[in-house]
Chain A
Amino acid sequence: MRYLSPLLAAALTILVGYALFSALGRDPLAALHAFFVRPVSTANGVAELLLKASPLMMIATGLALGFRANVWNIGAEGQLILGAICGGGVALHLEGAASGWGLALMVVAGALGGMAWAAIPAFLRTRFNASEILTSLMLTYVAALLLSYLVHGPWRDPQGFNFPQSRMFDDALLFPLLVEGTRLNASFLLALAVVAAGWVFVHKSFLGYQMRVAGLADAAARYAGFSATRTVWIGMLAGGGAAGLAGLAEVAGPIGQLTPSISPGYGFAAIIVAFVGRLNPVGCALASLLMSLLYLGGEQAQMELRLPAAITGLFQGMLLFFLLGADVLINFRVRALRRAGPAAASAGQAA
């Protein structure tokens, strides 16, 4: 039943979408077609879908490891930016001296950058017991300003008319394309590798087991002698590293330079993806495909039917709402309770 609830949520979303489009005076079937079929009706569309899903897949898998252990890393967006800064910084300094190792070095730098940014909330949590929800979220804004400073200042393209952007990276430092004529690049394989590694960690490793116990029953984990500190560190670093990789993959992939805005909120969208994917790496991969389809479908709906962009947000929100709703109703039974006499009486008097 737990695994059926995403399907149920999707079905309900489509159903309400159908009613919504009818109410807007659009042909609902055409609208649903534009949303869910048109984007993937060409090879290029499929490539775009996979390209868009890659960062979501990576980040959601990384975050899910922490979420399972009650480590709430909300700052993946900032960790993504740091990954882009570190990996992109390597690219800018390798300019002209590009070798086969350049890209590998950038990948390592990107992952380490994201991890380093995630290490700050991990340290604050384990040393001072500061909530990682707040610290990781607030560091997102710091990361965005840091990127803004770099592209306005030291890393600004000298030929760029003072516009805030870096030089374009050397072609040799970009991920090679997987399919010529599309934008799908080798970072998709990296995303699959992250998902595979996440799956092995969760299902096959003792450490993964310990983290799951820590998430399900904190006291039991402590009684068994599992280190709570280690759980926090692994949870944060997994999310940070994955987000850093995703950031690097964006700048060394479709963007090809550092600009003030790198991600359209992948770090936040990945939180939704992780939950829709049931905090399971394979589920995250599937959920990221669904989420990207909604983005692409939103664009198609605008072009084909002139529906407003807000429809995309509405669809995503509905999906999450129905998913969480289905979960509540599956896990808990709703019963009408008649309140006991005196309480009801006093409530009546108070009113």
Chain B
Amino acid sequence: MSTRKWGAALIGAAALAVAGLAPAAQPLKIGFVYVSPVGDAGWTYQHDLARRALEKQYGDKIVTKYVENVPEGADAERVIRELAASGHELVFTTSFGYMNPTIKVAKSFPKVLFEHATGYKRAKNVGTYNARFYEGRYLAGIVAGKMSKSGTAGYVAAFPIPEVLQGINAFTRGMRSVNPKAQVRVVWVNSWYDPGREREAAMALISQGADVLMQHTDSTAPVQAAEEKGVYAIGYHSDMSKYGPKAHLTASTHDWTGFYGKLVGEALAGKAQPTNIWGGIRDGMVKMAPYNPAVPQDVRDLVAKAAADIAAGRLHPFGGPVKDQGGKERVPAGKFMPDDQLAVMDYYVEGVQGQLPKK
């Protein structure tokens, strides 16, 4: 390399160093990729609530952009790449199916920090974050167990993947913690969002004697069905009370505000690192929505105590003994189920009716 080129390189490096020291004149650009339209309830809506909270918290220090309704598949990679290429330094990809595209794009943009929700692949500039939704399910189970007269709850579920099974099982265990004879019936709708099928599933469950509905799907159809039929429902993702003022007892909701706020604060300080977070009630990622007046104070107290115990680590939704549907002991008494076993859950616990769809 000639002297002149060395000189140019030095000047360039000095310029970069100065730019690094100078206070950030440009706002930090943050991109979000959403799998569904934002709407006014559901998975994506909760992420967007947190995005709006970021704008409030950091004002003109940041600019946020989002692209909604991006299908999991070939399109995701283009959108993620476009966000990275157009100067977004922090990109949140908020659906499991964005995992491989996120990893692929991250290789070409080493300076951009990517955060992928609910996945398991990480890289130098790719972090993951997820919430222990099952903790909220356990609390919802307590409410359901106390409020159900028939002792049978209905569960509208999307796909038999570990996250959904954790939810069904934690809900069942929560319910049986206050009513040992409680039963949970499950209907699979094979979709994350399909109001028509969710409604049909809810109706079928009600006709089978379920008087509290729980859901692991994205639409408000099950809550609406419960309202119509005069039974109770517990919402998921968002507070769905306006879709069932009488039926909606509470909801197990996600709150990403704290996580996004903290990470963006670190990014503004130039200290953001890829995360590996699986947060729960203690981290404020899982919360219960306000209660329906129909829920008596003693039930609220019971749930508050369980929540405090879970946060303090005294109570675990999968604290032993955990028996599966066939009676096989999965966790011995006195132990908690470790995370690696939670992550691959593929069975029903005692108290869930029916068979898991065959592999």
Contact = CB atoms under 8 A, between A and B. Distances in A.
Interface of A: 44, 48, 51-52, 145, 148, 152-154, 156, 161-164, 168, 183, 250, 253-257, 259-264, 295-296, 299-300, 302-303, 306, 308-310
A152 B160 contact: yes
B290 interface: no
A260 B70 CA distance: 15
Given A161-B344, A163-B96, A183-B78, A153 B359 contact: yes
A161 B358 contact: no
Nearest to A163: B161
Given A153-B359, A161-B343, A309 B67 contact: yes
A310 B69 CA distance: 9
B73 A250 contact: yes
B97 interface: yes
B68 A254 contact: no
B214 to A, nearest CB: 21
B77 A154 contact: no
A51 B69 CA distance: 19
B283 interface: no
A58 to B, nearest CB: 14
Nearest to B190: A148
Most buried by B among A145, A253, A254: A254
Given A161-B343, A299-B67, A309-B68, A254 B77 contact: yes
Nearest to A183: B77
A303 B82 CA distance: 9
Nearest to B85: A44
A152 B74 contact: no
Contacts of A154: 359
A112 B69 CA distance: 32
B329 interface: no
B83 A303 contact: yes
Given A161-B343, A303-B67, A308-B68, A256 B100 contact: yes
Given A257-B100, A264-B75, 6 more contacts: A152-B160, A153-B359, A161-B120, A161-B344, A255-B74, A262-B73
Interface of B: 31, 37, 65-75, 77-79, 81-83, 85-86, 96-97, 100, 120, 159-162, 190, 343-346, 357-359
B79 A261 contact: no
9 contacts: A44-B85, A48-B78, A259-B97, A263-B73, A264-B75, A299-B67, A302-B67, A303-B86, A309-B37
Given A153-B358, A183-B78, A162 B73 contact: no
A156 B162 CA distance: 13
Contact of B161 (A162, A256, A261, A262): A162
Across the A-B interface, the 5 shortest Cβ-Cβ residue pairs: A264-B71, A254-B74, A309-B69, A153-B359, A309-B68
Contacts, number: 88
Contacts of B31: 303
Nearest to A265: B71
Contacts of B67: 299, 302-303, 309
B285 to A, nearest CB: 20
A299 B343 contact: no
A199 to B, nearest CB: 26
Contacts of A302: 65-68
A145 B194 CA distance: 14
A145 B100 CA distance: 23
B74 A310 contact: no
A183 B345 CA distance: 36
A260 B161 CA distance: 12
A162 B359 CA distance: 11
A148 to B, nearest CB: 6
Contacts of B79: 299
The residue among B70, B82, B159 with the most chain A CB atoms within 10 A of its own CB is B82
A152 B96 contact: no
B156 to A, nearest CB: 17
Contacts of B37: 308-310
Contacts of B72: 259, 261
B103 to A, nearest CB: 10
B128 to A, nearest CB: 12
Contacts of B357: 152
A151 to B, nearest CB: 10
Contacts of B69: 309
B78 A162 contact: no
B30 to A, nearest CB: 12
A152 B120 contact: no
A145 to B, nearest CB: 7
A308 B70 CA distance: 12
Nearest to A141: B190
Given A148-B190, A153-B359, A299-B79, A162 B71 contact: no
